[in-house]
A = this chain, B = another copy of it.
Amino acid sequence: MSWQIPRVAVAVDLAVLTVRNDRLQILLVERAIKPFRGMFALPGGFLASKEEDLEVAAARELAEETGLEPRPLHLEQMRTYGAPDRDPRGRVLTVCYLAVVPNLPLPVPGGDARAARWTPVDAVLNSEVAMAFDHREIIADAVERARSKLEYTTLGAAFCAAPFTISELRHVYETVWGHKLDSRNFHRKITSVDGFLVSTGERTKRDGGRPAALYRPGGARLMHPPILRSAGSSPWAG
Residue on B with the closest CB to A84? B51
Contact between A10 and B93, CB atoms less than 8 A apart = yes
A79 in contact (CB, < 8 A):
yes
A83 CB contacts on chain B under 8 angstroms: 53-54
Number of interface residues of A (CB under 8 A): 34
Copies in the complex: 2
| Residues A79 and B82 in contact, CB atoms below 8 Å apart | no
Task: List CB contacts (< 8 Å) of A8-63 with chain B.
Answer: 8-10, 46-54
Residues of chain B within 8 A (CB-CB) of A49 are: 6
Q: Which residues of B contact A93 (CB under 8 A)?
A: 10, 54, 93, 95
Please determine whether B51 and A91 come into contact, CB atoms closer than 8 angstroms.
yes
9 A-B contact pairs sorted by A residue (CB < 8 Å): A5-B9, A5-B46, A6-B47, A6-B49, A6-B50, A10-B10, A80-B95, A225-B231, A226-B226
Residues of A within 8 A of B (CB): 1-2, 5-10, 46-54, 77, 79-80, 82-84, 89-91, 93, 95, 224-226, 228, 230-231
